[in-house]
Structure 1
Amino acid sequence: MTPVLTSSDDAIAAVRAFGRFYTRQIGLLDEGLHRSRFSLTEARVLYELAHRDGLTAAALGQDLGLDAGYLSRLLARFVAQGLVARAPSGTDGRSRVLALTPAGRVAFAPLDEASRREVGALLERLSAPDRTALVRAMRTVQRLLGARAAEPAAIRPFRPGDTGWIIHRQGRLYAEEYGWDDSFEALVAGILAAFVAEHDPAREQGWVAERGGEVLGSIFLVRQSDEVAKLRLLYVEGAARGLGLGSALIETCLAFARAAGYRRVTLWTNDVLVAARRLYEGAGFRLGASAPHRSFGHDLVGETWDLDLTG
């Protein structure tokens, strides 16, 4: 279990410890990155110029967070060495764009290959599930620190491999946010097991919200009768709330229900799930019935909501 950091000092110490560990792992403390003659900053500049066209010094400095004077001296050195060329911009005569020369690409190629080889060697030590967990954790770091903030989320159909993750995350989230016990996780597992084993793809489907390979939420639609479908297992990760993903998942689900010929969609939820209830109401669902019950280790009020698709 991940330890709870009780103070900002604990969090600062943990981030600094990770930074020290990571820089050792990928060789950032070496005098020349990947045993080359280039420093980390020089290699980053070469990488950007190798993979992007039309870069100006100002844009490059802003993207990499480099001091303008330092970057100017670095680029002047690269120009003198024949690695980088400057040319007038085709759209702004006052600007000059940067590009690697053929010699620059020759110099960058072994650096790029060494990076791939060293990272590959690190990953070879891990099993496939551990590699997946590592990449997911790295993407989480990027997202939380803002590097992926501009990347949009996408909604895709449910596919093999999603089941275990959705069960795990729903069980964990509802335990952390509402204190529900493992009987809720068992309920989710049962619903998904039945869906995977028996669903009719023409009339039943699931969807996953995803960004950069990271699952942010999901929703399912299953057949209750020829005319009635049931919406199930809507959830959105806490860090992804406020992005409109819950509404987008519901609208995707309802569009499928209409296309499949259903006349009504129903769902069952609990009164404590206030945010979800707002989403259902916003999508046009209306509360039909409610009743108290004891489930998941708590006294709750279950609610049935319905949406007429014929109107």
Structure 2
Amino acid sequence: MTDSEARQRALAVRHFNRFYTQHIGALHEHLAKTAFSLTEVRVLHELFRGRAQTASVLGRNLGLDSGYLSRLLTNFERRGLITRRPSEHDARQSLIALTDAGHAAYAPLDAAALEEVSALLEGLTPPDQDQLITAMRLIERLLSDKPRHELVVLRQPRAGECAWLVHRQAQWFASHYGWDHTFEGLLARVVADYSQRRDPVREMCWIADQEGSVVGSACIVAVSTTVAGVRLLWVEPDVQRLGIGTQLMSECIRFARRSGYTKLTLTTASTLHEPRRLCERAGFTLAGTVAERRFGNDLTVERWELEL
């Protein structure tokens, strides 16, 4: 990436920050009518939504200066909004929890905030609301400094998601490996053939859904009456090594066995370490390799097989 491209991306992020900050400011105008600042509301919300926690955890979760947070909590305690008790695991720490008065003080603020957000969303159509929430979840996932371990559900694709998978994988492999448009064509043919055959007894596709975000996929297609192939195997790079690929592969194997196949195959390139790792962990064996010119690159194509 050139310096000019990096600068343009930084400017785009700053532009979004200003835009979003204006919206957040509008959503919190009601705070001017309360006895609490925005930061105080954030602390109350953190305590309201979970069990008692320490000041260090609060500060880390909210990115607050420890001295400022200490003064804020002292003020809360003086007003009877919180209690502190020694931690059983660390005598140097105190567990902080809302009192009944604290819950009563925060509850109307929480209700008002939900009403304002609901009013904002009402100006959008349901599909636009879904698109907005998906984009927000993606931003949160990509900028999080910790891997997300939320439950991943495997479900059937919704309208447009198979096409999105073609777009996403074609874009990613072009960016990271220089694969050309013929790879996108291959993915599109897989999706088209699967969609047109519509044989749920012999073929199946799964979307890995993490709190509404598509984070992976896999598809079983018939190669012959006894052999099935794994296609569209994909896990978003930022959530790899969290067991999602293993979950998808296990579902592929279970489905292939139930459908009466005797062999499951997967074709990949030697440079792609993640599918090779998943195959090895699932008990596949490397059946053969061949040097080929594919997708505008010289590749070593590997065929992996699992006897069912």
Q: What's the TM-score, normalizing by structure 1?
A: 0.79
Partners of 2:148 and 2:259 lie apart in 1 by: 34
Which runs of 5 or more structure 1 residues have no equivalent in the other structure? none
Higher mean displacement: 201-210 or 39-48: 201-210
Contact 2:152–2:208 under 8 Å retained in 1: yes
Contact 1:266–1:304 under 8 Å retained in 2: no
Contact 1:220–1:234 under 8 Å retained in 2: yes
- 1:25 positional shift: 0.5
1:209 aligns with 2:224: no
Partners of 1:219 and 1:48 lie apart in 2 by: 37
- 1:214 positional shift: 1.7
- 1:60 positional shift: 1.9
**Residues 174-223 of structure 1 deviation map (CA, whole Å, 9 limit, x = unaligned):** 44443422x65454344334434544434432223333322122111122
**Residues 39-69 of structure 1 deviation map (CA, whole Å, 9 limit, x = unaligned):** 1110011101111122222332232222222
Cα distance change of structure 1 residues 153 and 272 upon mapping to structure 2, 3 Å threshold:
farther
The aligned residue for residue 149 of structure 2 is 151
Cα distance change of structure 1 residues 173 and 5 upon mapping to structure 2, 3 Å threshold:
farther
Correspondence 1:162-311 to 2 at 5 A: 162-177=161-176, 178-181=178-181, 184-241=183-240, 243=242, 245-269=244-268, 271=269, 274-275=272-273, 278-279=276-277, 282=280, 283-288=283-288, 290=290, 292=292, 298=296, 303=301, 305-310=303-308
The aligned residue for residue 123 of structure 1 is 121
Contact 2:208–2:244 under 8 Å retained in 1: yes
The aligned residue for residue 41 of structure 2 is 43
Identity, in percent, stands at 39
Higher mean displacement: 136-145 or 153-162: 153-162
- 1:134 positional shift: 1.9
In the alignment, residue 55 of structure 1 is paired with which amino acid? Q
**Residues 99-141 of structure 1 deviation map (CA, whole Å, 9 limit, x = unaligned):** 2222222221221122112222222222333222222222222
- 1:156 positional shift: 0.9
Contact 1:34–1:111 under 8 Å retained in 2: no
Partners of 2:2 and 2:164 lie apart in 1 by: 22
Q: What's the TM-score, normalizing by structure 2?
A: 0.80
Partners of 1:254 and 1:137 lie apart in 2 by: 32
The aligned residue for residue 52 of structure 1 is 50
Partners of 1:274 and 1:88 lie apart in 2 by: 51
Q: Secondary structure in 2 aligned to 1:19?
A: helix
Correspondence 1:98-137 to 2 at 5 A: 98-137=96-135
Partners of 1:48 and 1:37 lie apart in 2 by: 18
In the alignment, residue 18 of structure 1 is paired with which amino acid? F
Partners of 1:217 and 1:263 lie apart in 2 by: 26
Q: Secondary structure in 2 aligned to 1:37?
A: coil
Which runs of 5 or more structure 2 residues have no equivalent in the other structure? none
Partners of 2:297 and 2:76 lie apart in 1 by: 69
Contact 1:34–1:114 under 8 Å retained in 2: no
Cα distance change of structure 1 residues 244 and 36 upon mapping to structure 2, 3 Å threshold:
same
Contact 1:154–1:210 under 8 Å retained in 2: yes
Contact 1:218–1:249 under 8 Å retained in 2: yes
Higher mean displacement: 191-200 or 66-75: 191-200
Contact 1:268–1:305 under 8 Å retained in 2: yes
In the alignment, residue 284 of structure 2 is paired with which amino acid? G
Q: Secondary structure in 2 aligned to 1:149?
A: coil
Correspondence 1:23-102 to 2 at 5 A: 23-27=21-25, 33=31, 35-89=33-87, 95-102=93-100
Partners of 1:48 and 1:288 lie apart in 2 by: 55
- 1:170 positional shift: 2.9
Contact 1:27–1:33 under 8 Å retained in 2: no
Contact 1:222–1:229 under 8 Å retained in 2: yes
Contact 2:155–2:209 under 8 Å retained in 1: no
Cα distance change of structure 1 residues 46 and 277 upon mapping to structure 2, 3 Å threshold:
closer
For this pair of structures, how many residues does the alignment match? 304
